[in-house]
Structure 1
Amino acid sequence: MATTYIAALTGSNRRQVGRFVEQHGLTEIAASRPGPCPLRVPVTGQINGKPWRKHVDFNEAADLMRHLGTAATIILLYLTGMRPQEVQGLRSGCCPAPEPSDDGTEGQHLIHGHHYKNVTDDDGNHISAGEVRQVPWAAITPVVHAIRVLERMVPKGELLLSTAHHEFHSRHGYRGAMKQDTMAQRIESFVTWVNREAEAQELSGQSIPDDPHGALGLGRFRRSLAWHVARRPGGLIALAIQYGHMRTVLDARTSSGYGARSRRGIHAILDVETALAAADTAARLRDRAAAGEKVSGPAARRALTAAAQTPRFEGHIVPRTFARKASTFLARDGIVLYDNPDAFLICAFKHDNALCEPEPGATAPRQYDCRPGCGNTIRTDTHARLLRERADELDQFADHAPAPVGKRLRVNASRLRETADTHDSTAHTAEVLT
């Protein structure tokens, strides 16, 4: 019998309900004729345009709260790059509303938290309480929403993952944040619930498959985000800022690996992901050339030769020993291909030809500083098409912008079209170039 639920509906206390249930034998009746315990709260969430529940049941409310807290925790772990212990240390109020900028737009949300790894005092002793991170974490909208959800679950100033409030049904009276083992167990339970819910909603395509590597380790979220960020132009700079590392120059060996001054950790990950991204770029160029697309640019012949010699990464488990191979792969000056979608080109990076002024010994271009006229550039018909599409977008922006801004946008659009026209007039097929 849901005595708490009945007491709330009738305005009595649980002891009165218990006596009434005992006097009238309601436990046996409820066992033979079970029924729901709908809460008087509106159901606003929808899946495919339909309410995801007719009502929220009292008996599932605690489980739903636990899964909601787990979902918010996953977002914090995945979309910030925080270490698990850094998420555990966050408190309500850690992400205040930003002050509006001078032009009235909302500023960037920042998360102010503690970090614990390699935090020592003047004598070199580890400080278990950690210290406030000098560079706050940048928070995108889903992360802010997740923090706001957790802030509604705990009192002001309390830990966002406070055991006392996330394990409210427990009588042990635990203090502090939930342990990592507990968080990992909750994630596994959340996966099970998601799959059951997907089946109930007839959304089998959104179920979560079994992981071949076993349980989801909390640290994998941080590394997964690094994988995505590192593969974007200028991604290493963003990674250095968000993760608090000092690697602010491409291929510079001046920072630490996830906090320790060593060649392991983040450097090995970046080399592996950069090498895999370069292999993907070579495979796409090879496929486009085979499909009949023409190629232009001073490095066209060299790039096609490199693409033909670069193995295609079909997808398999990457062992730790691959990091050394990746570093060797990236050191092949002149035949490693870097995609730069922001500049609508591929860079066949050769250090002596680069106009982006890479550091001595660098094995990758400064993709955020790509300059026209560089001898490492190559474009395909796809790039020319994308240039024209971007030019059309700029013209549309110009139509609705103030005159000075619109003029600059149209000049940029014209420049993009000229670049596409130059490609059309100078491009050749792979057969001609090779």
Structure 2
Amino acid sequence: MTSELAVEADPFVLPMPSPDTPVVHDRWISLDNTHPNSRYSDDLWSLGPLTDNPGHHIHRTIWSKCPATLQPEMRLVIWTLINGELRPSYVKARSMQGRARDGVASMRNCILEWLKLARWLHQHGVNRLGECTTEHWTAFAAERTAAQNNRGHALKLLRWLADLWAFDRLSARPSGIIAPPWETGGIDDYLPADTANTGGENTTEPVDPAVIGPLLTWSIRIVEDFADDILAGWAQRRRMIAEVNATEPTSESLAALRRYLLPRIEAQAPLPAMEHRGHGTTLNRLYVAAITGAAYAQIQHLSGQLDLPKLTAQRPGACPMQLPVTGTINGRPWRQHLDFEEAPTLARHLATAAAIVIMYLTGMRPQEARTLRAGCCHDPEPGTTGPHLIRANHYKNVRDVDGYHISAGAERDVPWVAITPVVKAIRVLEKMVPEGELLFSSTHHDVVAQRKHHGALKAASLDQRVEQLIDWINTEAAAQGLPHQQVPTDPFGNIGLGRMRRTLAWHIARRPGGLIALAIQYGHMRTVLDGRTASGYGNRARRGFHGELDVETALAAADTAARLRDATAAGEKISGPAARRALVAAAQLPRFQGALTTPKAAAKFLARDGQVLFDNPDSFLICAFKRDMALCDPDSNATAPNQFACQTGCGNAVRTDSHARDARAHADTLDVRAALLPEPAGKRLRFHATRLRDLADAHDAQARTAGEAVA
């Protein structure tokens, strides 16, 4: 059948491409996309024309990685995948896939799996796709899914493999590969056993409180206290390098160079040094040329004559720049001078610190934060007191009218709220990139190698930079005599920026008093998030950060219920007007455990008014939150109490023997502190201590066993 007849018979079958046919049809390329389009006969196919998200890599298919015997058939079916659409009737009937065409990231994963299959078939003596049997499909699927510990990912993998058969039927010259057995029969037999670990965002561990505290403190310090010095040093270094590159050698510049070097050599003084990759410590020629006004060729020639690399390795010295140091740490300058060689490293750490501040204190997903642009955070109108708002693109589940994923994302209908440290971090980044450029532009933040990479810094690169920043912080803290401010090792491994969103939600939900840095800011965000206001964290329709917070709040409430159940089972007594309701709620917990990892399930759990338990250690009680009984003035749609406004005498209060003991222990601590303070401060503390003891005494007088309370 000719390609024309095939198209006439079935519009979903693509015509046969020629060697010069573009890899991506024009219909799939957005108007703003400028990535070059590969040709069908090229040895490398780029998916750049489909990639509009600046935070994504440009994925490529390298045909040398495909066996030559299978390459013609694989080229055609992959080209069909890139440009084709599955028939609507097939999509509707197929439970494993609900879309006729995937986004570029899923398309890349699909291609990778197909190429793995091609190599596997070649190793097993199969040189045509039509020779692949049911036994081959079964064996390869077993090998691939055995490497997965996640049932959901294994399901995706089998779907990508089945796509090879589905798209092959839409090519102008089908290979005749048969359908995989899970496409025609049940798929469960080909999947690993289901486990409690269902994957998703909430399997990510929050950063340990002992880690995020000093890391956030240092990040804010770098942004707010050191940024002006770091930016001035980075700009001065670039000016010095530009001057050296523009300098022509003269007899005067050579004389100046000799006047600088020879006395130092004779006095056996330290020489300006740098660490040269693979060559150890050597003379910093650029720096010496810049401060003497010499041409680079002159210092290079003189370096060989005087054996300066060897002398520098024996007596390495600093490379100070003549710039004032304005930043301080504990009231003293943080540097005696800014160093020419340290400038790019400090600029790199400054950008990383800004990333930590932005991602942690907004709750943005990393891909949203990495694609922010200069100018995204406008100042409020003059004379107004409104918050700073961040205009950002979101990417998750953004689709066009046909249901196809939009790689460029879309601007959020409702912006993010930027608290003061975030605004300062954005302003610093805006000084590092041109107007309108990505705040985390790969080109402008590759300060060491100065390579011109595509788009924004990638997630893996930023994660690596966080680890490098932590190493620098720990070295700096020791040098500044602040070892207690070092960042300890996190028990769950590297501090990837993907963990920041979960960590913020964890601290807001589980540490309502903000026991780490910026407690006031946590309080501010909790208020905004509880109100679900129009200026809150992301669109309510898309849930934004609300869903993440709901999950953490639900998990914290479930933990509270479990602890109450265990405590009363161990013999602890309970008191308070909501004691019976709290015990009933705790008894119902097993119905919900293990099902609170999605925003939808968490919101449903929290909506059970009067049956959700919230621990409030600052008030030494559990709140069995019921809106119409709460004295903390919750909003009409609130699903959690305002724990900062907890009131004595509330009908939602519950106390256990542990709460009473903790209240008395805190009262004793207040008495000790009161004895060291002048009046009336000491009097206030003693009054508060007496009040806590009265609460504990009231509990002792009213406490009952769980059986008595429920009866």
Please say whether Structure 1 and Structure 2 have the same fold, judged by a TM-score greater than 0.5.
yes
Query: Which one of the candidate residues 99, 102, 111 is aligned to 2:381?
Result: 99
> Are the structure 2 counterparts of residues 344 and 98 from structure 1 closer, same or farther at C-alpha, using a change threshold of 3 Å?
farther
Q: What per-residue deviation string (whole Å, max 9, x for no partner) do you get for residues 257-301 of structure 1?
A: 7699xxx9665433113334667899999xxx99xxx98x644x5
Query: Which one of the candidate residues 395, 401, 420 is aligned to 1:116?
Result: 395
Query: What is residue 678 of structure 2 aligned with on the other side?
Result: none
Query: Which one of the candidate residues 342, 355, 362 is aligned to 1:73?
Result: 355
Which one has a bigger Cα radius of gyration? 2
Query: What is residue 226 of structure 1 aligned with on the other side?
Result: 505
Query: What is residue 349 of structure 1 aligned with on the other side?
Result: 625
> Are the structure 2 counterparts of residues 55 and 167 from structure 1 closer, same or farther at C-alpha, using a change threshold of 3 Å?
same
> Are the structure 2 counterparts of residues 429 and 174 from structure 1 closer, same or farther at C-alpha, using a change threshold of 3 Å?
closer
Query: Which one of the candidate residues 279, 286, 303 is aligned to 1:4?
Result: 286
Partners of 1:158 and 1:51 in 2: CA distance: 33
> Are the structure 2 counterparts of residues 7 and 426 from structure 1 closer, same or farther at C-alpha, using a change threshold of 3 Å?
closer
> Are the structure 2 counterparts of residues 37 and 373 from structure 1 closer, same or farther at C-alpha, using a change threshold of 3 Å?
closer
User: Aligned AA for 2:652?
Assistant: N
After TM superposition, list the pairs within 5 Å mapping 1:123-134 onto structure 2. 123-134=402-413
Partners of 1:369 and 1:36 in 2: CA distance: 55
Partners of 1:298 and 1:174 in 2: CA distance: 63
**Offset, 1:218:** 2.0
User: Aligned AA for 2:538?
Assistant: G
Query: What is residue 429 of structure 2 aligned with on the other side?
Result: 150
Structure 2 counterpart SS, 1:428: helix
Query: What is residue 467 of structure 2 aligned with on the other side?
Result: 188
User: Aligned AA for 2:299?
Assistant: V
User: Aligned AA for 1:269?
Assistant: E
**Offset, 1:374:** 6.0
Query: What is residue 319 of structure 2 aligned with on the other side?
Result: 37
Query: What is residue 237 of structure 1 aligned with on the other side?
Result: 530
Structure 2 counterpart SS, 1:110: strand
Structure 1 counterpart SS, 2:316: coil
User: Aligned AA for 2:382?
Assistant: P
> Are the structure 2 counterparts of residues 310 and 29 from structure 1 closer, same or farther at C-alpha, using a change threshold of 3 Å?
farther
User: Aligned AA for 2:701?
Assistant: E
**Offset, 1:336:** 4.9
Query: Which one of the candidate residues 427, 430, 433 is aligned to 2:700?
Result: 430
Partners of 1:153 and 1:202 in 2: CA distance: 30
User: Aligned AA for 1:271?
Assistant: A
Query: Which one of the candidate residues 211, 222, 233 is aligned to 2:490?
Result: 211
Q: What's the TM-score, normalizing by structure 1? A: 0.68
User: Aligned AA for 1:108?
Assistant: P
User: Aligned AA for 2:348?
Assistant: R
User: Aligned AA for 1:46?
Assistant: T
> Are the structure 2 counterparts of residues 181 and 2 from structure 1 closer, same or farther at C-alpha, using a change threshold of 3 Å?
same
Q: What per-residue deviation string (whole Å, max 9, x for no partner) do you get for residues 144-180 of structure 1?
A: 1111111111112111111111113325322321111
Query: What is residue 368 of structure 2 aligned with on the other side?
Result: 86
| Pairing 1:272–2:548 present | no
Query: Which one of the candidate residues 333, 355, 371 is aligned to 1:51?
Result: 333
Q: What per-residue deviation string (whole Å, max 9, x for no partner) do you get for residues 347-366 of structure 1?
A: 33358866989999x97568
Gapped regions of structure 1 (runs ≥ 5): 247-254, 312-318, 387-416
**Offset, 1:86:** 0.8
> Are the structure 2 counterparts of residues 121 and 30 from structure 1 closer, same or farther at C-alpha, using a change threshold of 3 Å?
same
**Offset, 1:124:** 0.9
> Are the structure 2 counterparts of residues 207 and 370 from structure 1 closer, same or farther at C-alpha, using a change threshold of 3 Å?
closer
Q: What per-residue deviation string (whole Å, max 9, x for no partner) do you get for residues 95-140 of structure 1?
A: 12212345xxx43111112111111111111111111111111111
Gapped regions of structure 2 (runs ≥ 5): 1-282, 513-525, 668-686, 705-711
**Offset, 1:185:** 0.9
Structure 2 counterpart SS, 1:59: coil
Partners of 1:204 and 1:162 in 2: CA distance: 34
Query: Which one of the candidate residues 15, 25, 32 is aligned to 2:297?
Result: 15
Give yes or no for contact 2:366–2:497 (8 Å, CA) kept in 1: yes
Partners of 1:113 and 1:304 in 2: CA distance: 42
Query: Which one of the candidate residues 21, 28, 31 is aligned to 2:310?
Result: 28
**Offset, 1:88:** 1.3
Query: What is residue 614 of structure 2 aligned with on the other side?
Result: 338
Matched length: 372
Give yes or no for contact 1:338–1:349 (8 Å, CA) kept in 2: yes
Partners of 1:332 and 1:109 in 2: CA distance: 34
User: Aligned AA for 2:463?
Assistant: A
Query: What is residue 201 of structure 1 aligned with on the other side?
Result: 480
Partners of 1:275 and 1:338 in 2: CA distance: 9
Structure 2 counterpart SS, 1:75: helix
Query: What fraction of aligned residue pairs are identical, expressed as a percent?
Result: 47
